[in-house]
Chains A and B, each alone.
Chain A
Amino acid sequence: DTAVSQTPKYLVTQMGNDKSIKCEQNLGHDTMYWYKQDSKKFLKIMFSYNNKELIINETVPNRFSPKSPDKAHLNLHINSLELGDSAVYFCASSQDRWAGATGETQYFGPGTRLLVL
């Protein structure tokens, strides 16, 4: 079974549209994350949720709205898509919210490749 899964894997859309990316983890983890990876492979955290509570929001435009219906799911909704939103979006999860406090690492999903035309 896939530990962290994302849908869709590919997303091609027009500028101005609204789209959602879904993420689910079956690891029983308490914390989930969204990362954005640009064309130069730079990986930057966007959000983190712990038990459905937002704990990290790294100055992401408010067109991006994460939603966590339960601790196994963290979805990302993007309004009014812009060309600069084209990237690969990774969901990840970890047991604990403290990076490294218990030697816990983050497990990443396969990524969603978003292309805005």
Chain B
Amino acid sequence: GESVGLHLPTLSVQEGDNSIINCAYSNSASDYFIWYKQESGKGPQFIIDIRSNMDKRQGQRVTVLLNKTVKHLSLQIAATQPGDSAVYFCAENNNAGNMLTFGGGTRLMVKP
């Protein structure tokens, strides 16, 4: 069936470095994608979103890149800080547009 990034890898970066978290999706009909951040013991929190008519969108210290050709989504975090340590999820809307499907998440660990 359709899937979004089924694994939970861990990315370890040094404080101050840039982080890149990747997500693969397989539903070519998806037209809306979101990145969420989940800190320990908390619920997922919206970071940034992007529509399929865009290939890049920037926020504060975060950038999302969308490559529809290879169905790949990435989240770039500039100057990673200890507070960025969390699990990051990508999500896509379904064909009917009324539901988000979440990927398996990536754990980001920031070393001081």
Cβ-defined contact, A108 with B32, below 8 A: no
Find chain B residues with CB under 8 A from A45 CB: 99-101
Cβ-defined contact, B104 with A41, below 8 A: yes
Find chain A residues with CB under 8 A from B105 CB: 41-43
In the bound complex, what is the Cα–Cα distance between A44 and B100 (angstroms)?
Answer: 9
Question: Cβ of B60 < 8 Å from any Cβ of A?
Answer: no
Find chain A residues with CB under 8 A from B104 CB: 40-42
Question: Cβ of B89 < 8 Å from any Cβ of A?
Answer: yes
Cβ-defined contact, B102 with A44, below 8 A: yes
Contact of A99 among B36, B46, B99 (CB under 8 A): B99
Find chain B residues with CB under 8 A from A99 CB: 32, 93-94, 97-100
Question: Cβ of A97 < 8 Å from any Cβ of B?
Answer: yes
Size of chain A's interface in residues, with CB distance under 8 A?
25
Find chain B residues with CB under 8 A from A110 CB: 41-43
- What class of interface size applies to chain B in its complex with A? 20 to 34
Question: Cβ of A69 < 8 Å from any Cβ of B?
Answer: no
Describe A's contact surface by its main secondary structure.
loop
Cβ-defined contact, A41 with B87, below 8 A: yes
Find chain A residues with CB under 8 A from B93 CB: 99-100
Find chain A residues with CB under 8 A from B38 CB: 41
Closest chain B residue, CB of each to CB of A98 = B97
Cβ-defined contact, B45 with A108, below 8 A: yes
Closest chain A residue, CB of each to CB of B47 = A105
Cβ-defined contact, A97 with B8, below 8 A: no
Q: Which of B27-56 contact A (CB under 8 A)?
A: 31-32, 34, 36, 38, 41-46, 49, 51
- With A41-B87, A43-B89, A100-B51 in contact, is A106–B99 under 8 Å at CB? no
Cβ-defined contact, A105 with B49, below 8 A: yes
Shortest CB–CB separation between residue A99 and chain B, in angstroms?
4
Cβ-defined contact, B8 with A41, below 8 A: yes
Q: Can you sample 22 A-B contacts with CB below 8 Å? A: A40-B104, A42-B102, A43-B44, A43-B102, A45-B101, A55-B98, A92-B43, A99-B94, A99-B99, A100-B31, A100-B32, A100-B34, A100-B51, A103-B49, A105-B34, A106-B46, A107-B46, A108-B36, A108-B44, A108-B45, A110-B42, A111-B43
